């Protein structure tokens, strides 16, 4: 299922990250390291997201009751695909080049 409105407040995601309450999946970390980015740069990019960067909200492939927000962000001519979720913390599900 998909929708064009964010399921989670972007400000809530940023607040959790600011408080150190976040988790980055191994897949996301491998993908952004391959892009030459480090943890601090990734957090800085996420903190720079604005509501207009939202592409869509979608349910998880594994559980149609779990929503994930997808953002597109252009950084230094690199178009990024960023997928975020909130549980008890902010989760960076994906952080890769948009293809």
Could you read off the pLDDT of 2-25 as tens digits, one per residue? 999 999 999 999 999 999 999 999
Q: What is the pLDDT of residue 61?
A: 87
* Percent residues over pLDDT 70 in the chain: 100
Give me the domain span that covers residue 79: 2-97
Q: What is the mean pLDDT of residues 32-52?
A: 97
Q: What is the mean pLDDT of residues 61-90?
A: 95
pLDDT mean across residues, the chain: 97
Distances (CA, A) of 8 to 30, 33, 51, 87, 95: 25, 26, 11, 10, 17
- Nearest partner of 10 among 42, 41, 51, 44, judged by Cα: 51
Q: What's the pTM?
A: 0.95
Name the residue with tokens 């909130």.
Answer: 86
For residue 74, is pLDDT > 90? yes
Q: What is the pLDDT of residue 25?
A: 98
Q: What is the mean pLDDT of residues 24-49?
A: 98
Residue 89 is part of a domain; what is its CATH number? 3.30.2310.40
* Rounded-to-integer distance, Cα 28 and Cα 85, Å: 13
Domains of the chain: total: 1
Distances (CA, A) of 9 to 25, 36, 93, 94, 96: 20, 28, 16, 18, 22
């Amino acid at each position: 299922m998909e929708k064009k409105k964010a399921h989670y407040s972007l400000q809530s995601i940023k607040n959790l990250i600011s408080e150190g309450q976040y988790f980055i999946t191994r897949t996301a970390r491998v993908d952004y390291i391959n892009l030459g980015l480090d943890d601090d740069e990734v957090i800085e990019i996420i903190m720079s997201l604005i509501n207009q960067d939202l592409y869509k909200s979608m349910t998880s492939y594994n559980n149609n009751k779990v929503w994930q927000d997808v953002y597109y962000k252009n950084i230094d001519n690199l178009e990024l695909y960023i997928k975020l979720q909130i549980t008890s913390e902010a989760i960076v599900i994906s952080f890769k080049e948009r293809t």
